[in-house]
Structure formats: C-alpha cells, structure tokens
Structure 1
Amino acid sequence: MRDTALTKNIQNALTPKGVLTSLLEGNERYVANNLTPSNVNKLVQLTIDGQFPKAVILSCIDSRVPVELVFDQTIGDVFVARVAGNFENVDILGSLEYSCAVAGSKLVFVLGHESCGAVKAACDGVELGNITAMLDNIIPAAKMASDQVEGEANSTNKAFVAKTVENNVKLTIERIREKSKILQEMEDNGEIKIVGGVYSLHTGKVNML
C-alpha cells in the first residue's frame, strides 16, 4: 500500500538511472497485473501543498495507454504531457522544462505506442482541419520509414507504421535536445536523462528504444 508521497528530499536523492529503473519495474508489475494499491485519500492530502514528481512522460492521448497505470505510478509520482502523436512543440517543451528545471524531475520519457492513430494518419497524408498541421510533426518519421521498410508507404503496411512509431519517438527526442538548451544542458550535466520507448497494445510492455 502506497501511503507516502514523494518529498523534496526524496526527489533530490533520486538519480536519472534509478528513476528509469523504477518506471520499468512498475511496467513489469503492470504487465503481470500486480499493480501496487494506493491510499488515494491520504496521498491527496499529502500533496496539497506541493509536488515533487520524479519524471515527466510525453505520451499520446490514446485512451488505451493509461500512462500512470502503465508504469504503476500514483498521485505525485510523475508529470504527464499528452498530445496525439507524442511529439514536441513550444508548449510541450515549456512543460518539460518546467518539470525538470523548476520542479526537479530527473527523467524525460517519450512514450510512443503500437498502432498509433496519429501516426497512421501521417502515414496516409490525412488532411482535416487542425489535424493537418498537427500531423506535419510526424511526417518526417514516416518519410524516414519509407526508406527503411519494404512495401506500401501507408497505414495498410503494419511494418511501415511500426517503424514510423519508432522513428517518431527517436526524432522527438532529437528535437527536444535541439530545441531546449535547458534540457540539453541538464542532460549533459547528468541531472536528467531523455529516453524513449514504445508501448505494446498486445502485451502492455514498454520496449525501450
């Protein structure tokens, strides 16, 4: 039973490597259907005056990827930023910078997922309202995949979609480092790690890239 929340002292003692390990161990519990119960009422009270999350996770909005559950985390443990296709933009970058430089998180985790609808739409060149501009962030990953995978370069090709999902995570990580001097310097100094993985809808497992 989890009935204590992260404090500043606990957060300060954490390392980026240790935080990553704790998230992956949590994912193992999730896959095994062995989630840790939490005293929600107590945690709500303990976190009223502040929060000291250990990581920030950039995820897709997909309802099949319940981020805190996927890593067996509870109230006060992690920041979660969500946008269809789990890519970065100015608002997301600001959120990541706040999480790490201001609030003390030790890890940035970019989490893609199998059969992502936004990725499939980018693979098919969908044009619809504001979705068109949103997909521009994912199209570079699809173009890269077209040179890496045989067959049709559209969503009917499962291998093409899977490779685009992976590329999108990797390119997002690269752009986070390029566009955020704050996060890049923190990573260079060993204060944080920026990593990525892909969630399997079939198994619930997060596979690191």
Structure 2
Amino acid sequence: MKTSLKFLGIALLSFTIASCADAEAKKKETTETTAEVSLEKPIKSVLTAEEQANMTADEIIGRLKKGNENFVNNNLTRRDHSEQRRKSAIGQYPKAIVLSCVDSRVPVEDVFDLGIGDIFVARVAGNIENSDIVGSMEFASAVAGSKLIIVLGHTACGAVKHAIDNTDAASMNMNALNDLLNEIKPSVEMTEKNGEVSSKNTAFTNSVIKNNALKTVDDIRTASPVLADLEKTGKIKIVAAVYNMETGKVDFI
C-alpha cells in the first residue's frame, strides 16, 4: 500500500512539473506574440493636401491593388481610428471616389485596405449613374481633388440578376426599383448571348456585370462634361472594376 502511494506521489509530482513547464512555455509564447504585435504600430495619419496633389491616377490604382492584395490575404493594415477621426475632422483629401453597389457584402474601404479619409464612397444598387451620383463625383474630383473615379461592380449582383430575369418590380408597386432595373437592361442587351439568358447562367451574368460597370463609366463621361474634360487633360481617370465576392479580388477592367 505504501509503495502504491509512493508511486502515486511521484506520478502527481511529475504531472505538476510538466504542467508548470507547459504553462511557462505558453506564457513565453504569448509574451513574444504580444511583443511582435506591439511593434506594429497602428497608422494614425490621414492623407494631406500635398500627398493628394502629388499622386497620379495610375499610382493610386497601384496602391489600391496592393491594398486589395492585403484584403485577400487577410492582412489588413492596423489603424488608430480614433486618431484618424480626430485628424480628418480638420479637412479631407481623398485620393479617389468609388461608386459601388449597395450590397452589404462589398465593404469598399476594407476591400482596398483603406482608412478614414482615404476615399469617397457612393452607393446605389447596380452601381449605375444618375444625376446625384455624378454630382457627387464632380464634387469629389473637381472640387475636392480626387484623381480617380472607380465604378465597382461585383459578382452575384442582385440588381443585375433581376434586370437579366426581367423582373417586373412595378407590378409590386416598386416603381422606383423598376426604373433602376431599366437602367441596367441596356447592359443585358449589349452582352453577347452565350446560352440561356438567365441569372442562372453564371458566365452570362458575369459578362453583364462587367459590361454594366463599363457602361456606367461611359454614362459618367456623357453626363458630366467637367469630368470628361478632366480625364481628357490627364488630371483624373475614370475606370471600371469588378469585385469577386468569393475570392475578395478586384479586377480592374
């Protein structure tokens, strides 16, 4: 009996020592991890007028592509939003304006790894052009100095799907929505037919989404002589892009 107790005591002592060693190792690992994280200081600055003025549209596109790469790799930049909020209250100098769909699955700032004051964002279902949107773009570029206008479509766009399927929203007393879908239908008509004309045809739907973004770019140029002139003189660029919701990648067209 005494021998059994002796062996039990030795076993318990060994277990305790092992547990303490394991706990110490985990503590050390946590401390090292925390130290590594603390070395990565969050960004506190916001864009200045000088920085905005010195950027070119092509340079901005390059930065946005890099930011999107960070997003895809789940490596978003750490930011001190409280400090950025305080600094941006003095003034704003965004480098671009992005016209996106209202879809909640397209978090524009995160998609490009951006913070407070980096870009203007306009949203409307189907990322179509209208007078309010164009007016906002004129403010962003002609007044506030942004160098780039992006029309950002996205895969699995519900507005585009309903336009393809010719949904009659007016029959449901949604006349405004019906008008919006009618704005997208020309993009359906201009898309080469390859198989069934249905939102179930993913390849066709993706082609319509791309063409819809390109059409909106053309519509912006037509609707705003000011923006068209800024682009012709090389002061801004107006481009289309498509966000893939499965991969997180943005492809500039």
The TM-score normalised by the length of structure 2 is 0.81
Quick check: which has more Rg, 1 or 2? 2
Q: Structure 2: which 5+ runs fail to align?
A: 1-41
Measure the CA separation in 1 of the matches of 2:91 and 2:147: 17
Return the letter of the residue paired with 2:121: V
| Structure 2: distance between partners of 1:162 and 1:207 | 12
Matched AA of 1:118: A
TM-score by length of 1: 0.97
Structure 1 unpaired stretches of 5+: none
- Of the structure 1 ranges 59-68 and 123-132, higher mean CA displacement relative to structure 2 is found in 123-132
Question: What is the CA distance between 1:144 and its match in structure 2?
Answer: 1.1
Question: What letter is aligned with 2:190?
Answer: M
Q: Distance in 2 between matches of 1:156 and 1:176?
A: 30
SS in 1 for 2:217: helix
CA distance in 1, matches of 2:196, 2:227: 37
Question: Do residues 142 (structure 1) and 188 (structure 2) align?
Answer: yes
Question: 2: CA distance between counterparts of 1:150 and 1:17?
Answer: 34
Structure 1 residues 89-138: Cα deviation after superposition (integer angstroms, max 9, x where no partner):
00000001100000000000110000100000100111221210011110
State the partner residue of 2:78: 37
Identity of aligned residues (%): 46
Number of positions where the alignment pairs a residue of Structure 1 with one of Structure 2: 207
Q: Is the 8 A contact 1:149 1:163 kept in 2?
A: no
Give RMSD over aligned pairs. Answer: 0.8
Q: Secondary structure at the match of 1:138?
A: helix
1:45 is paired with a residue whose SS is helix
Deviant stretches of 4+, over 2 Å: none
More helix by share: 2
**2:67 matches 1:23:** no
Answer yes or no: is the 8 Å Cα contact 1:149–1:159 preserved in 2. Answer: no
Note the alpha carbon deviations across 1:115-169, whole angstroms, 9 max, x for none: 1000001001112212100111100001112xx1321112121111111101101
Distance (whole Å) between structure 1 residues aligned to residue 245 and residue 116 of structure 2: 24
Q: For the residues of structure 2 that align with 1:164 and 1:102, how far apart are their CA atoms? A: 33
User: Residue 125 of structure 2 aligns to a residue in which SS?
Assistant: coil
In the TM superposition, residue 202 of structure 1 has moved relative to its aligned partner by 1.1
Pairing 1:153-164 to 2, within 5 Å after superposition? 153-164=197-208
What's the CA shift for 1:67?
0.2
Deviation by residue 1:60-83 (Cα, 9 ceiling, x = unmatched): 011111000000000000000000
Instruction: Report the equivalent of 2:250.
Output: 206
Higher relative CO (Cα under 8 Å, sequence separation at least 6) belongs to: 1
Residue pair 1:29, 1:72 contacting (<8 A) in 2 also = yes
